[in-house]
Amino acid sequence: MAKKRSGWQRPPAKGAHAAARRRPAARAPAKNHARARAEPVKDAGNYGSRPDVVVVGIGASAGGLQALREFFRNVVDDSGLAYVVVVHLSPEHESHLAGLLQPHSRMQVLQVAESTQLKPNCVYVIPPNANLSAIDTHLRLSALERPGVRAPIDHFFRTLGVE
């Protein structure tokens, strides 16, 4: 009586013979194949140019303070990046976010109070009751779009995406 074979097969035997079976066959070099050549891009626009400063936008809810502290505790302080922190803040209360983050970062942490030029290795924090826009190399404050409706994180990322 023939033994029924299952889908399982014994692994190949160990030793030189098994190793030789697994080794791929050597191929002869192909002939008459064109070689790839790098060509300069004719109209690259400004894609190759570096911006003055690279902006890292961070959006968080008011409950994200611990995550922000942990993030800035572990971030490299001389990366050349500018960090902009936009959180949902109560418009009725003064913000202490810059002071709460400063002990956890070796970079300078500033609350934006007026049009501010972005500098590398700095952290910028949104003030309450305002929208923050990234325009060219500056951060600009503006009034909330509609009273009672606050979406400062969405507003900031829309302006950052345009740049």
Asked whether residue 156 is domain-assigned, the answer is yes
Whether 48 is in a domain gets the answer no
The rounded distance, in Å, linking the Cα atoms of 132 and 129 is 10
pTM assigned to the model: 0.67
What percent of the chain has pLDDT above 70? Answer: 65
The CA distance from 107 to 84, in Å, is 12
Q: What is the dihedral of CA 83, 86, 92, 98, to 10 degrees?
A: -20
22 in a structural domain = no
Kindly state the tokens that stand for 24: 């791929």
Give the CATH number for residue 137.
3.40.50.180
For 62-100, the pLDDT digits (tens) are 789 999 999 999 999 999 999 999 998 777 778 899 999
Instruction: Look at residue 87 and tell me if it is in a domain.
Output: yes
Confidence of residue 5 (pLDDT cuts 50, 70, 90): low
In a domain, 34, yes or no: no
3-state DSSP call for residue 111?
strand
Half-sphere exposure of 133 (CA within 13 A, CB side): 12
- Mean pLDDT of the 147-157 span: 81
Which of 33-42, 68-77, 114-123, 141-150 is predicted with the least confidence, judged by mean pLDDT?
33-42
Euclidean distance between CA atoms 61 and 88, whole angstroms:
5
pLDDT of 61 reads 87
Computed over every residue of the chain, the mean pLDDT equals 76
Q: Considering its fold, how many domains does the chain have in total?
A: 1
Domain enclosing residue 154, as ranges? 54-162
Q: Is residue 128 part of a domain?
A: yes
Mean per-residue pLDDT, 41-70: 75
Task: Identify whether 24 is part of a domain.
Answer: no
Residue 26 lies in a domain: no
DSSP state string for 6-53? -S--PPPPPSHHHHHHHSPPP-PPPSSPPPP-----S--TTTTSPPSS
